[in-house]
């Protein structure tokens, strides 16, 4: 397992289409989810939940995505529709992080949404810590009501993202990171 600081300093996402086997075992998936739950969560509301897509179920979910795409673009080429149907089938494992943020007497919804983001990031980091790679993707279908219904989301729930997990089939390209001087200031009063 990589050193934590080394991992946090060097991690970068792998394109979902380049993620392949091997992927986490059942025991590792349980650990990934356990780590994803260990995030700041004001009020202990657990304002998030997870949906796992594995094996053929990835294509069943993809069928809902393809159907929604066809409904939006009736003239779409068959190839494009087929591509949409494989959206969740590139990586061997996809874990959707669903925000359950809702009005609360004390805890602002914004904080609940942020907690879902933290859960998603913990999932990404934990996958890398196990030696796999991951990519946090939303895509148009994360915002399509028909797709969300088909995936079982309640009307008030929102898709924080799909975390695609597997092993990179080749070298992973990093991207430039912001210069700290551009985004960090020291408050001087
Ligand atoms: C909420 C959220 C949604 C994202 N959705 C997409 C997406 O739909 N497509 C995409 O290419 N990258 C998306 N990204 C960006 C990738 O997760 C990732 O940041 C990018 O590929 C660069 O990887 P790295 O900075 O982790 O190395 C999203 C990021 C976040 C936080």
Q: For 108-134, what is each residue's pLDDT tens digit?
A: 999 999 999 999 999 999 999 999 999
Per the prediction, the chain carries an average pLDDT of: 97
Q: Which domains does the chain have, with CATH numbers?
A: 15-168 (3.40.109.10)
Which tokens go with 56?
């053929």
Ligand 1 centroid distance, CA of 94 (Å): 14
Q: DSSP character for 15?
A: P
pLDDT band at 90 (very low <50, low <70, confident <90, very high): very high
Query: pLDDT digit string (tens) for 2-26?
Result: 699 999 999 999 999 999 999 999 9
Atom of ligand 1 nearest to the CA of 12: 27
160, 121 in Cβ contact below 8 A? no
Which tokens go with 121?
């990031």
The pLDDT assigned to 2 comes to 67
Ligand 1 lined by 12 (C-beta under 6 Å): yes
The pLDDT assigned to 173 comes to 93
Across residues 161-183, what is the average pLDDT? 97
Q: Which residues contact 47 (CB under 8 A, 6 or more apart)?
A: 41, 99, 100, 101, 102, 112, 113, 115, 116
Ligand 1 lined by 139 (C-beta under 6 Å): yes
How far apart CA 103 and CA 11 sit, in angstroms, is: 35
């Amino acid at each position: 397992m990589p050193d934590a600081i080394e991992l946090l300093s060097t991690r970068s996402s792998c394109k979902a289409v380049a993620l392949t086997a091997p992927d986490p075992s059942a025991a590792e998936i349980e650990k990934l989810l356990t780590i994803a739950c260990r995030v700041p969560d004001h009020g202990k509301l657990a304002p998030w939940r997870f949906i796992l897509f594995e094996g053929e179920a990835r294509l069943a979910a993809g069928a809902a995505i393809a159907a929604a795409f066809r409904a939006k673009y009736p003239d779409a080429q068959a190839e494009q529709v087929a591509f949409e149907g494989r959206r969740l089938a590139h990586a061997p494992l996809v874990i959707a992080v669903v925000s359950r943020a809702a009005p609360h007497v004390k805890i602002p919804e914004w904080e609940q949404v942020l907690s879902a983001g933290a859960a998603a990031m913990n999932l990404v980091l934990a996958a890398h810590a196990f030696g796999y790679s991951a990519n946090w993707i939303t895509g148009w279908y994360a915002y399509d009501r028909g797709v969300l219904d088909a995936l079982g989301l309640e009307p008030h729930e929102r898709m924080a993202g799909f975390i695609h997990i597997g092993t990179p089939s080749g070298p992973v390209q990093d991207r430039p990171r912001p210069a700290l001087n551009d985004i960090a200031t020291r408050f001087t009063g």
